[in-house]
Structure 1
Amino acid sequence: MLLKAPQVAKAWKKFVYHGKLDKTLPTVVARSWERCLTKLDPFTANHLDKLEEHRFKELLERYSMLIEVAKPIMEEIYLSMKGSGFCVILTDPQGYILKVLGDTSFMEKARRVNLSQGVNWHEHRKGTNAIGTALVEEKPVTIFAQEHLLKENHFLTCSAAPIFNSKGEVAGVLDISGNYYRAHPHNLALVVAGAKAIQNRLIMLESQKHKNMTPVYQHKAVYTFDSIIAESEKMQTVIKLARRAAQTESTVLLQGESGTGKELLAHAIHNKSSRCHGPFVAINCGGVPQNLVESELFGYEEGAFTGARARGAKGKFELANGGTLFLDEIAELPLDCQAALLRVLQEKCYHRIGGVQLIPADVRIIAATNKNLYEQVQQGKFRLDLYYRLNVITIEIPPLRERREDIGILTDHILADLSSRYHHAGLEVSPQVDQLFYTYSWPGNVRELVNVLERAIHLADNKIILPEHLPTTLQTLYNVSPQDGGGTVMDNLEVQTIRLALKRYGNNITQTSRYLGISRNTLYRKIEKYRIKI
């Protein structure tokens, strides 16, 4: 990221002196600069919004639950980066800093710009910064060096992620800040994982607190578009289409291999839709015995069949009323049930098994399959008319092997999440594992990557995950003998490792060679040997 600093500095000067936005500027930064420049002077210290002692105490009391939940997670994050010149910060929904944990070496510099407890770091007070911009954008952001609008903050690099409550409202922000020359690409993944852990715990406590006071849906979508970790062009296209689909009431069909994240995307679509406050109900059509699928979908009345409950039972359509029904593995639905489902989609009403009363079907359908549904139609396994009913907005989710540029950021994010969950602070993968991950075909996709990393963190003796900590399938790939001909398997792996490391450290030769454990001269020779462009 250090190589990025001169480019960012040039873009900052171009904007503050000439009012022009550089095309290389991240969109989120450009939007923030335009919001802030009309209200703030980039060159002078702006009005400090710091709470008086008694008001700060009141604030701490008001957000005591948030602080209590966040404290152990903040301590775990700080422990993993202690001594690296960073601090971990928690704010309230207005941007007031509630708690700071950090290295003394950095905290003195932080206090000079009032990055301290009781101070408001919202955009309208401190200009473009990770805390304030994350609050406005309601998504994770990193603000690096001169991406901060105010000149006094140019020494900072900050990564922040919003924390949401059970109503989908911002409850606070978790942030990691430090000197920009110590910027690390893992920080954003670490803070996103920490914010998600705080959020999940907070929602659980809120549900327990209010379960006798307000209705809480048992069926709730927990993921949002911010939960989708991806930088590849293919996944950005998927996310863009899914966001548009969320704004409609149309049926959505998600197609992709097992483990690609179809249910996660379904959650995100629901939470971005007008039905976000309603229930999100999921059913695995392939996991229900064929003779029970209709009763699971539509419910049944008392005495409808042998073994039925005395007072009958609601089906998934009834439970999802006012919300979203997610039909996973839709291709496994028996043909007779397909006919019943088609009828409900056409008529917008149904009746329970054994019942006569028509029940309105106020649900939005999201279906998913790991099969080509049109091929299933041609083979006589799926109804053509139902296919057309479902195939309104179809989203194809690419397998992990077709978006290899996401493997690195996914690895960082998953590792940070698992490290926090299992209290294995500071874990990272070795260069050899990095290259194996990039080369491997990942037939199980993201789900397999999660499982591989979860296994590895329990086997790693130190804080580095090595090839011997991986399953046999990946170890075999690493230990494969070189092949004759235009480049060995290991040569190809080495090329991918060097490319990944260069990308991770922004083409910084010193940092890349240190990470790879080789000298700068050796790295230069290998770059020349493999004709790697930097």
Structure 2
Amino acid sequence: MTNSEKYTQVATAWQKFVTNGEIDIFLAPEVVKSWLRCKNFLNPLEKAPLDKLEQYRIKDLLEKYELLLEVAIPIMEDLYLSIKGSGFSVILTDSDGYILKVIGDPIFLKHSNRVHLSEGVNWNEKVKGTNAIALALKEQRPITIFAQEHFHQENHFLTCSAAPIFDINYNLTGILDISGNFQKAHPHNLGLALAAAKAIQNKMIMKSTSTDREVPPYYHSTKYNFDYIIGESQKIKDAIKLAKKAAQGESIVLLQGESGTGKELFAHAVHNYSHRKYGPFIAVNCGAIPETLVESEFFGYDTGAFTGAKSQGQIGKFELANGGTLFLDEISELPLKSQASLLRLLQDRTLTRIGGIKPIPIDVRIIAATNKDLHEEVQKGKFRLDLFYRINVISIDIAPLRERPEDIEVLTSHYLGKLGGRLHHSFVKLSPEVKQIFHQYWWPGNTRELINILERALHLIDEDLILPEHLPLQIKNTLQQNKDGLLLENAEAKLIKTVLAQCDNNISKAAELIGIGRTTLYRKLGKYNIKAER
């Protein structure tokens, strides 16, 4: 439905309600309830009452909400930069609906000031009727109010998307709102408001529970976007294209690729390309957490939950990521017990801290990564099948460097320029022999290994040319091993063809005779370009 079509629909509904109290069935229930409340004490055809604080009271209010403003203003400024020039403003209120801060386009601010959408003014429902700030306060959840959904006629030019901000005890502390002209309404505004509200909320919680009021360095530490992913091969272009599409939704993304292929780069890029980019990005290496601590790291714990626990309790990674993205790296390394807990959280979208009793709603986008074949891990009994199906929604395969040789020179040129400047070798090139070696090498460590080898060579060269003697011995040894391995692969391909012929191309029987899993056999069929048609 276009904005103009929706405008006509809600305009008709508002007119019916104002004229004879008739309720259109398409109206949202919260809008209907608000209209019914408002008609008891407000006249929609008159100007809304004005409840504006005097200057000394505004000063007192700003002091009361010092921490909220300290955290919120930088996030509001970042958010405004992304919508600047689109005719919108970003608004922060306190828990009663008084506006604390407004940042917006001057043209819209001039118009909105006529209805007192400005600092020090109360936009509670009892004063301003049905509006997004009021209903976010009342319902304590994100909400958009469009055009004639506003109770007062003077506010019908507005579209507003608002989201609540809670403190560590989940008491309402404020509202983050994006307001503009209804003709420019965009469905992403509510997501932007929610992500910004969650970012403010999580930073406030971190500051209020930290002795030095500093946010930990891992919080919202996204450094990369899609521009950082270097490559010209079709495989890397396809992966980027799929990742950009995935970023626009909310589904779980599963990044699959060998170590060093850039899975974390992709995770950062997806987050920064999504509407959650203003929310936190929390990265967790599942393989680095001791098994006994996984659940306390994920879900947090309350005061006195167990011996050795911090006296003030601890917020888990899921709560820290609320409103943003949680990156679960090496998800295949999660213990089975923790996999069950993760599955339950993904299904219920709530968690309970260890030692706690209060369920906490969670709004987190999951990006998972693995360098293992999860099909095989399931067959081995090391990974839950139901969790695999839960996280394998949008799977993005990041090809190893050996499968995209056209990217080797592009990556080499890029990182030589980047490393060379730091190590005072600005115009370094590869000798023809080294180029040949790079294209023959297997690159088991992928891009990460390439970077390390280039950095090592830059320390060893005397002139601006990398020669074979500047490369580690392991490359030369591996090249010989690769030649030997090629002979073994030829033999393996021949064996697979022979067994498939004996089994009339029955994959299950062939895999059993060879002594490998079906998934492994399928992968080898692709590797050797063997067709098994029955």
Q: TM-score, normalised by structure 2?
A: 0.49
Larger radius of gyration: 2
| Structure of higher RCO (CA pairs closer than 8 Å, 6+ residues apart) | 1
Q: TM-score, normalised by structure 1?
A: 0.49
